[in-house]
């Protein structure tokens, strides 16, 4: 009798211990890819067998959005659960990269072209109450690993955030629980010119989907094929990671997130406030065939990642976080009716744009109509496709819709019916029939900007002074 009792007691003890085991969480992050470019979102021009196999057993979300259409500001919202324009991380190329690795603020000297800004390199500093989610994970027993993007536009102490960073980290089931970010950069914008002359893995002539923002010509087709070829190489690398996870016994029992840091590596994609710049692919594989009732069509934002990871790990979510947990113990039943995105300075080009959308419409407010959407970003001009489109524009050889991105001045307001116009080519802001919609969205946007205390309204020179005085 006593022996039976001991066995039963031991059984329940094991169950109880198992309930307290924190799950492993792995992130597969790729660079510069819009949702519509991926096969599990309906694209038939490329096959990615390794990712597609994971997606088959995952929750594929339809509406995940980057807070900003460029990397560093977007990453700052991911790691903090805060909107970049509420914590001062909204200007791209604000921070000199040495700031991160030296763990201190430095005011460096800008390039000759950037010096017209009269703004030194600087890094924002988070309020003491705002803590990154990897820090909180570490305090709760997690080994946190980043391989390896670390530019967040704010001062960050590597040692307090990451257990390992750009190291030869060896996965081991004895080193659990694990939170690890694997960043695959072969799909980055730079690969559009660095790999332009490499052998293609996709035949340009076989492509079925040519975005209507581009002319259907040989250079556009070649550029699309280059990107799809980069995606295929990325998928091979992901396959190697999956093999390692399975070998170490970490694949089945872990959460696996897959997403891109913002939209695609083309003009009118990355750095653009349009859907092509902000709507990204996203799916989550749950551990051990776990089921969770979820609305995969709800609006999600990068600010939701931090609270969701903590929710999965059964860790209380800081009240300062602006995102909504969509999985785990603290999953919110609240769903967004409106989704907000923003953009500000890109490299040497100041700008300020704010946008809000619901299921049907998207409203865009341009604070500097004198600036074209096609900002002269030196980095982007290295891309053959960018030079091609610019040449066609100057020769008046683009169609009216293809030329919209180059319009100067751009309109102060834009309104699109996304259900019927997913590439945002038919601006309804000048149509009297949509006056009420614009008035409504203006109010919603203003309320949100007040709610988050949007720092984009502060001239960058003044923002730098504010940050310097706070330190």
Taking the C-alpha atoms of residue 351 and residue 65, their distance in angstroms, rounded to an integer, is 20
Q: Render pLDDT for 167-201 as a digit per residue (tens, 0 to 9).
A: 777 777 667 799 999 999 999 999 999 999 999 99
Q: Averaged over 215-222, what is the pLDDT?
A: 97
Taking the C-alpha atoms of residue 357 and residue 338, their distance in angstroms, rounded to an integer, is 6
Are 325 and 369 part of one and the same domain?
Answer: no
Are 31 and 180 part of one and the same domain?
Answer: yes
**Cβ proximity of 27 and 282 under 8 Å:** no
pLDDT tier, 107 (very low <50, low <70, confident <90, very high otherwise):
very low
**For residue 101, pLDDT beyond 50:** no
pLDDT tier, 108 (very low <50, low <70, confident <90, very high otherwise):
low
Last residue of a domain, one of 337, 370, 397: 337
Last residue of a domain, one of 267, 302, 337: 337
Are 278 and 354 part of one and the same domain?
Answer: no
Q: Does some domain include residue 18? A: no
How many domains would you assign to the chain?
2
CA torsion, ordered 156, 301, 373, 43, to nearest 10 deg: 120
Are 358 and 324 part of one and the same domain?
Answer: no
Residue 340 has phi, psi (to 5 degrees) of -115, 135
What secondary structure does DSSP assign to 271-293, as a single string? B-SSHHHHEE-EEEEPGGG----
Nearest 5 degrees, angle CA 324-CA 73-CA 302? 20
pLDDT tier, 391 (very low <50, low <70, confident <90, very high otherwise):
very high
**For residue 44, pLDDT beyond 90:** yes
Are 399 and 275 part of one and the same domain?
Answer: no
**For residue 6, pLDDT beyond 50:** no
Beta-carbon contacts of 319 under 8 Å, excluding residues fewer than 6 positions away, are none
**For residue 443, pLDDT beyond 90:** yes
pLDDT tier, 210 (very low <50, low <70, confident <90, very high otherwise):
very high
Q: Residue 116: which CATH number?
A: 3.40.720.10
Are 332 and 389 part of one and the same domain?
Answer: no
Q: Does some domain include residue 219? A: yes
103: domain range? 23-337
Are 161 and 290 part of one and the same domain?
Answer: yes
Q: Does some domain include residue 327? A: yes
Position with higher pLDDT, 469 vs 386: 386
Q: Does some domain include residue 459? A: yes
CA torsion, ordered 156, 161, 167, 170, to nearest 10 deg: -170
Are 373 and 301 part of one and the same domain?
Answer: no
Residue 320, helix vs strand vs coil: coil
Nearest to 92 by CA among 76, 109, 108, 103: 76
Q: Which residues are catalytic?
A: 71
The predicted structure's pLDDT at residue 293: 84
Q: Render pLDDT for 302-360 as a digit per residue (tens, 0 to 9).
A: 999 999 999 999 999 999 999 999 999 999 999 999 999 999 998 888 899 999 999 99
Taking the C-alpha atoms of residue 82 and residue 362, their distance in angstroms, rounded to an integer, is 22
pTM of the model: 0.92
The predicted structure's pLDDT at residue 109: 63
**For residue 433, pLDDT beyond 50:** yes
**Helices 305-312 and 71-80, interaxial angle, to 10°?**
40
**Cβ proximity of 19 and 11 under 8 Å:** no
**For residue 370, pLDDT beyond 80:** yes
Q: Averaged over 446-464, what is the pLDDT?
A: 94
Are 319 and 388 part of one and the same domain?
Answer: no
Q: Does some domain include residue 395? A: yes
Are 284 and 361 part of one and the same domain?
Answer: no
Taking the C-alpha atoms of residue 41 and residue 403, their distance in angstroms, rounded to an integer, is 27
The predicted structure's pLDDT at residue 245: 94
pLDDT tier, 255 (very low <50, low <70, confident <90, very high otherwise):
very high
Last residue of a domain, one of 303, 337, 371: 337
Please list, residue by residue across 136-160, b when 16 or more beta carbons sit within 10 angstroms of its beta carbon and e when fewer do.
bbbeeebbbbbbebbbbbbbbeeee
Residue 299, helix vs strand vs coil: coil
pLDDT tier, 111 (very low <50, low <70, confident <90, very high otherwise):
low
What is the sign, positive or negative, of the torsion defined by CA atoms of 87, 89, 94, 95?
Answer: positive
Q: Burial of 271 by CB count in 10 Å (0-12 exposed, 13-18 middle, 19+ buried)?
A: buried
Are 399 and 295 part of one and the same domain?
Answer: no
The predicted structure's pLDDT at residue 12: 32
Pairing of strands 282-285, 361-366: unpaired
């Amino acid at each position: 009798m006593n022996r039976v009792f001991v066995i039963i007691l031991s059984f329940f003890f094991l169950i109880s211990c198992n309930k307290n085991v924190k799950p492993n969480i792995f992130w597969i992050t790729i660079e510069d890819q819009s949702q519509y470019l991926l096969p599990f979102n309906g694209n038939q021009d490329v096959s990615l067998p390794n990712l597609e196999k994971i997606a088959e057993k995952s929750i594929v979300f339809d509406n995940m959005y980057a807070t900003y259409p460029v990397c560093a500001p977007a990453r700052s919202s991911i790691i903090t659960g805060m909107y970049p324009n509420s914590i001062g991380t909204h200007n791209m190329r604000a921070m000199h990269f040495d700031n991160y690795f030296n763990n201190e603020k430095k005011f460096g000297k800008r390039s000759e072209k950037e010096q017209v800004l009269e703004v030194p390199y600087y890094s924002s500093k988070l309020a003491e109450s705002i803590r990154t989610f990897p820090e909180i994970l570490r305090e709760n027993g997690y080994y946190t690993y980043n391989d390896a993007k670390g530019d967040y536009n704010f001062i960050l102490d590597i040692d307090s955030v990451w257990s390992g960073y750009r190291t030869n980290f060896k996965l081991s089931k004895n080193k659990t629980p694990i939170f690890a970010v694997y960043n695959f950069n072969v799909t980055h914008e730079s690969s559009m010119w660095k790999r332009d002359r490499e052998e293609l893995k996709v035949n340009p002539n076989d492509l079925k989907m040519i975005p209507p923002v581009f002319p259907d010509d040989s250079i556009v087709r070649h550029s699309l094929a280059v990107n799809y070829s980069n995606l295929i190489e990325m998928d091979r690398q992901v396959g190697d990671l999956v093999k390692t996870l399975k070998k170490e016994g970490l694949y089945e029992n872990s959460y696996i997130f897959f997403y891109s840091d913002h939209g695609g590596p083309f003009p009118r994609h990355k750095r653009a406030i349009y859907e092509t710049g902000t709507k990204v692919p996203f799916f989550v594989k749950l551990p051990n065939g776990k089921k969770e009732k979820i609305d995969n069509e709800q609006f999600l934002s990068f600010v939701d990642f931090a609270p969701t990871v903590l929710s999965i790990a059964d860790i209380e979510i800081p009240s300062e976080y602006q995102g909504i947990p969509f999985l785990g113990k603290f999953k919110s039943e609240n769903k967004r009716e409106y989704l907000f995105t923003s953009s500000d300075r890109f490299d040497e080009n100041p700008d300020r744009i704010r946008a809000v959308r619901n299921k049907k419409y998207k409203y865009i407010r341009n604070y500097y109509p004198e600036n074209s959407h096609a900002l002269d970003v030196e980095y982007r001009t290295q891309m053959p496709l960018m030079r091609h489109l610019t040449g066609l524009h100057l020769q008046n050889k683009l169609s009216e819709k293809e030329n919209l991105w180059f319009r100067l001045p751009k309109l102060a307001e834009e309104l699109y019916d996304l259900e019927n116009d997913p590439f945002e080519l038919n601006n309804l802001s000048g149509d009297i029939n949509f006056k009420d919609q614009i008035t409504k969205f203006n109010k919603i946007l203003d309320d949100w900007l007040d709610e988050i205390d949007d720092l984009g309204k502060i001239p960058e020179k003044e923002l730098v002074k504010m940050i310097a005085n706070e330190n």
